[in-house]
Amino acid sequence: MVIDAASLPMASDLLRALASDSALSQTAILLVGPKVETSAFAGPAKGRVSFVEDLDALAEAAETAVRGPAAIHVGPEAGSLFPLPGNEAQRLLALERSGLVETPPEDAFDRLTWLAAQTLGMPISLITLLTPTRQWFKSRHGLDMADTPRSWAFCNHTILQQRCMVSEDLSADPRFSDNPAVVDAPHFRFYAGCPIVDPDGFTLGSLCVIDTQPRSLNDTEQAILTNLASLVSDEIKLRVTDGRLKRAMDALDRKPRWGGRTST
């Protein structure tokens, strides 16, 4: 969120409202102009406000705020990399707008991971959301951990395409053979994942199935996983659209209503 620092006295109420919005709890706030002291930074906004001297520096500051300092160089060893889509900055904003990260389990999603595991005969099924530094599981079946470092995510490759990605033997796949989850416990060996998207078409993560033994999926099984991923996307779209509608209605309720009495 970018605000003109010169108009800060008039924008302080807006700043406080944005900072207290739970859907924007991870949003950085950039103020363009000379640094000033303001009580508006107290409470939820504290630590999230940065000053940008001029518009020329705004683009770089915005990208840094979105990606975060460890968005690319993360993982168990210094200098490790994971692939990023060309629209990663916009994708991360879309993920934040969805409000899904760190939300409690929901039956609608848990039923789909259960169905994927049962239908395809897999011990593990996950709905993953890729943040700048983490792979967080909105739903998980057959796995205790709630998240992993982003650099561990096989789904980093899945979100680069519009179809399912399959690795029949992770230990023999040069992209994943040195992955900590492959080399060490839980010793994953098979992965198949399909992208899941928001209403605007941004890929937030994937629906994936995992096994500890090498295996394959036939065309019918891949079609099953693709269709289940589409159902996950539909659930996400419903929640995002519902959230937008609620915020729009709240904004209308807060809008001053002007008018005078009519006489007869």
- What pLDDT is attached to residue 242? 81
Q: Which CATH architecture has domain 93-248?
A: 2-Layer Sandwich (3.30)
Rounded distance between C-alpha atoms, residue 174 and residue 59, angstroms: 35
**Residues of the chain scoring pLDDT < 70:** 1-49, 51-81, 255-264
Angular region, 114: left φ>0, alpha ψ -120 to 50, beta rest: alpha
Torsion angle (degrees, nearest 10) of CA 212, 217, 220, 221: 20
Element housing 63 (H / E): helix 58-67
Domain parsing of the chain, residue ranges:
2-68, 93-248
pTM of the model: 0.66
State the residue for tokens 């002007």: 258
What does the pLDDT look like over 100-125, one tens digit per residue?
999 999 999 999 999 999 999 999 99
Mean pLDDT of the chain: 80
